[in-house]
Amino acid sequence: MLNKIIHANIYTPDKLLPDQTIEIKDGKIHAIYPTRGNEKKDTTFFDAQDMIITPGLMDIHTHGGMGADAMDAQQNSLNQMSTFLANHGVTSFLATTMTAEENSIDAALSTIRESHLSLPGATLVGAHIEGPYINITYKGAQNPAYFRPPQEQEYRRWIETGIVKMVTIAPEIEGMDEFIQYCIYNDVEIAIGHSNASYDQVMHAADLGARHATHLFNGMLGLHHREPGTVGGILSEPRISAHIIVDGVHLHPAIVDLVVRLKGADKTILISDAMRAAGLADGRYDLGGQEVTVVDGEARIANGSLAGSTLTLERALKNVMQFCHMDLIQALPMVTRNPAKALHLADCKGFIREGFDADLTIFNRELEVQATMVQGKWVYKKS
């Protein structure tokens, strides 16, 4: 039996197709055509009149939500994350680890590998390792007790799991060239973050294959007119995509606008960097073994450093539209097409096209999530 979404206003994301029918079969988009009155009776309908249909949102940097964290190394925590993300329009995500001792990261990766095909909501497409190969000068909320240079035995074990899709590193750390080259050879993306790298070191990392910047401006050497630093290198290097946290806290709205103008919307990816307090009330929580206090939705450790966020990706989308004076067609690729391309999934995700995964987010006109479909199955419908 076919599933059909009728009267859909589709953002592909590159263009608007009004009043369309989407046929879904075997988890894929089977056909797209203008809605007509003679639909077959052997179908299940979802009437999307006055709604907006987009490719499913993709969050490639999230630590947790609803009390769960990827570092819990528990199936139930990943279930909670998957459900929470789906409730906010996300259909695919990278579970992101923290700087920790070897055994803790190994356990998290093992659970991600064992669980990624059986989650109830958003699809877990892999792991993003943030640290421990980063610079203590820009530690942020990462635990400095576990910082270390690349350890070949350790990182080979990570990559051999087959589940690691991205690693955040500081390119200036000794031994990093060999690690970057090993990752690139094994189709693992390299992101620059928590880094004190000079402009030249950023350029060198890009030459080796680094193509991403983790939470640009946050946790890295800033821009100076005589030393462009990490930020200057990232902004000026066209091969590097900028990942930004658009919650109005991590970056001033004018900086968000500046980044999008300089990098272009096609080289900007919105991330949540959410921690376990996302979706919950203010209070005290744990992140990477450190106590985090959340006040008015802002998560900070004892020294005042920001500790991830409580952001959801659909709020980031609305924020970037407001901060950058963009319409939905201009902004939507930053949470759909661009992350799909970053993870080499643009042949099946990030677009609404025939033959692609039926990963869809349904919004009302106010861009509030009404329903989420993952591989042809409804995983969330607003009551």
The domain that holds 28 is classified in CATH as: 2.30.40.10
Cα separation of 197 and 229, whole Å?
Answer: 6
Task: Identify whether residues 65 and 197 lie together within a single domain.
Answer: yes
pTM of the complete model: 0.97
Return the minimum-mean-pLDDT range out of 83-97, 174-188, 241-255, 281-295. 281-295
Mean pLDDT of the chain: 97
Mean pLDDT of 16-43: 88
Q: What's the token pair of residue 43? A: 């179908």
Task: Identify whether residues 59 and 35 lie together within a single domain.
Answer: no
Cα separation of 219 and 224, whole Å?
Answer: 15
Cα separation of 363 and 366, whole Å?
Answer: 7
pLDDT in the model for residue 78: 99
Residue 195's CATH number: 3.20.20.140
Cα separation of 211 and 205, whole Å?
Answer: 9
Cα separation of 151 and 131, whole Å?
Answer: 12
Q: Is pLDDT at 39 greater than 80 in this prediction? A: no
Widest distance between CA atoms in the chain: 69
Q: What number of CA atoms fall less than 13 Å from residue 261's CA on the CB side?
A: 9
Cα separation of 61 and 43, whole Å?
Answer: 37
8 Å CB contact between 75 and 347: no
Q: Is pLDDT at 53 greater than 60 in this prediction? A: yes
Task: Identify whether residues 107 and 250 lie together within a single domain.
Answer: yes
Task: Identify whether residues 28 and 168 lie together within a single domain.
Answer: no
Task: Identify whether residues 265 and 286 lie together within a single domain.
Answer: yes
Task: Identify whether residues 253 and 279 lie together within a single domain.
Answer: yes
Q: What's the token pair of residue 194? A: 């928590």
Task: Identify whether residues 40 and 170 lie together within a single domain.
Answer: no
Structural domain boundaries, residue 227: 55-342
DSSP state of 195: B
Q: What's the token pair of residue 224? A: 């100076």
**C-alpha pair distances (Å), 138 with each of 9, 58, 134, 201:** 44, 27, 8, 16
Q: Is pLDDT at 160 greater than 60 in this prediction? A: yes
Catalogue the active-site residues.
273
Task: Identify whether residues 306 and 369 lie together within a single domain.
Answer: no
Cα separation of 325 and 64, whole Å?
Answer: 30
Task: Identify whether residues 249 and 289 lie together within a single domain.
Answer: yes
Task: Identify whether residues 180 and 303 lie together within a single domain.
Answer: yes
8 Å CB contact between 266 and 333: yes
Q: Which residues pair with 374 in a beta bridge?
A: 377
Report the candidate in 63, 141, 55 with the shortest Cα–Cα distance to residue 348.
Answer: 55
Number of domains in the chain: 2
Task: Identify whether residues 26 and 156 lie together within a single domain.
Answer: no
pLDDT in the model for residue 222: 98
Whether omega for the bond prior to residue 339 falls within 30 degrees of 0, making it cis, is no
Mean pLDDT of 41-65: 91
Question: What's the order of all strands across the beta sheet hosting 212-213?
Answer: 57-62, 90-97, 123-130, 164-169, 189-192, 212-213, 241-245, 268-271
Mean pLDDT of 236-254: 99
C-alpha dihedral over 183, 184, 185, 187, to 10 degrees? 90
Task: Identify whether residues 258 and 232 lie together within a single domain.
Answer: yes
Mean pLDDT of 357-373: 98
pLDDT in the model for residue 38: 62
The string of pLDDT tens digits covering residues 280-331 is: 999 999 998 899 999 999 999 999 999 999 999 999 999 999 999 999 999 9
How many other CB atoms are there within 10 angstroms of residue 298's CB atom?
17
Q: What's the token pair of residue 241? A: 């995509």
Residues 6+ apart with CB under 8 A from 2: 23, 24, 25, 30, 40, 42, 43, 44
Cα separation of 151 and 301, whole Å?
Answer: 28
